[in-house]
Structure 1
Amino acid sequence: MEKADAPYLSIVIPVFNEEENIPLLLENIEKALKNFKKAFEVIIVDDGSTDNSLKILKELKPKYPWLKIVALRRNFGQSAAFTAGIDHAKGKVIVTMDGDLQNDPRDIPKLLEKIEEGYDVVSGWRKDRKDPFISRRLPSMMANALISRFTHVKLHDYGCSLKAYRAEVIKGVTIYGELHRFIPALVGLSGARVAEVEVTHHPRRYGRSKYGISRTYRVILDLLLMIFFRKFATKPLHIFGLTGGTLFLLGLGIELYLSFLKIFMGQDIGQRPLLILGVLLILTGINLLGTGLLAELVIRTYYESSGKRIYSVREVIE
């Protein structure tokens, strides 16, 4: 490994109660990268573990000089842990992976080769996945199909944590909720080049999986957020204005119809539920229009005050 102030590669691994896996994980990384010619660092983020994970990491630190430990004050979740690791990474290329030994460090060079071909993001594809079909693989397949369909960044396996990113691409992304799995789609919105390679997947040997049905529900909610990001992140008035305007006109039409019945037909409309529905639609439409205007103001203030742009430049040729 070359010695340099700024390493070429940073490997970010969040862990939560993985005391049995950590020694083997570090050993596997050492073996996988023993012939790697460039400087690298491994950043393990302890996400508020309640077992001996942090203690074991500190004990193993002298053995592995490339190891950096980031200990969070409590359990913030995987997205926050990935963000903490990425923020502390100094490498030109950042690789993320899980700490449960299901991702194989020997696949890292394969991801880096693809990055060197000119891609900004390379995502792992667990083609031969070693997880239960009904509880894990089937929901994942459905989610991957939906995400690919609505984000137009087509990947077989969004849930695979083993991914490689150019630092300038990933460091500009804010990750929260369960959005770490959507990073390829998020950077794809800015025109990043995304590729996919097959990677090895091992069955879990120690510990317990932190995934469940509730997590699948949260992923669906984040997918709705991604759809909004893709279409309306810089023009929220379009969605709120269109919806609000439609409801307003529908409510107005109902009220005009009832007014016609009252004025020209002499019918009593005071007890009609349709009267209340029309008023409700008008008020809801006005409310949505106002929300759209406020959201538009917030977006403009955000971009102008932060100095960010609504575009992303890949290169400039003069």
Structure 2
Amino acid sequence: MSVYTAVSFSELQTHLQNYAVGELQSYKGISAGVENSNFFVDTDQGRFVLTLVESVPKEKLPFILGLVDHLAINELACAQPIHLNNGDLFGMLNGKPAVLMNCLEGAPLNQPTLSQAKTIGSTLAQFHQLSSQLELDEYSHIPQWCNELASRVLPKLDKEQQTLLQNSLMETSDIDWTTLPSGPVHADLFPDNAMFDGERLSGLIDFYHACSTPYLYDLSVTLNAWCFDETNNQFDTQKAQQMLHMYQEIRPLDPMEIDLLPAMMKTAALRFWLSRLRDIYFPTAGEDVTQKNPQGKQALLERLKSDFPVIL
């Protein structure tokens, strides 16, 4: 569980007066998430999810929450932000931006089924179609981000890891990101960021990595996350093929995207290897903080570089 900022009952009770969600009955920290403080909030009108945003500056929240609001209004399955009484999409609580969302049915996934993965493939394509209607704001240049973070973690690695990192950075820098179709993306669509009630998708959650960048990057992050089993070091080629098929049924990749998919999947693996290394070597202090093992993403990166699965 990650709780960086504690909240008392009375503080939350006062904060909820800014919403038309009823009287606070109880609340508790959520045993998921890495970068923000999350709580289940129960009122006499139902259950909600409160997020104290620790991972991004509040100046970015109008983009993120505007994206989520746009998706929800257009009936994409996702958590929907609750507007404050004054119409705003977020407030402030204990010095942190505070977002209240409806609580979706079901639970996040650990080991997704083939059917669930296919659903995510089509849902992600619908997401990208809807997001293409929005402005290309908050653009994130992933190679630059990787290079800046790599300079910090490189001295902490052994020789073999340093070689893997340096070679991967060179391959990532060879991608011409400016030529790829781009728009607002989720950028963190792991199985634990999708709520399922059985085989039915209740909705996508945790959009706090959202940015504008190539859609191919978002697709690559998702393929890696849903098709690679970090515990067993196995890549499920059939699942990846079916996810990609469902995606292309709605949003076909153009020839350049197809050509760059292998390199982009390696870039996606590199990005999350680096973020997990950062969390290990440069941890953020918190009350109860989750860290993920970077070895899983390192193993994925090594796998993609040595034996790329045939998924197209």
TM-score in same-fold range (> 0.5): no
Q: Which has the higher contact order (CA 8 A, sep 6+)?
A: 2
More strand per residue? 2
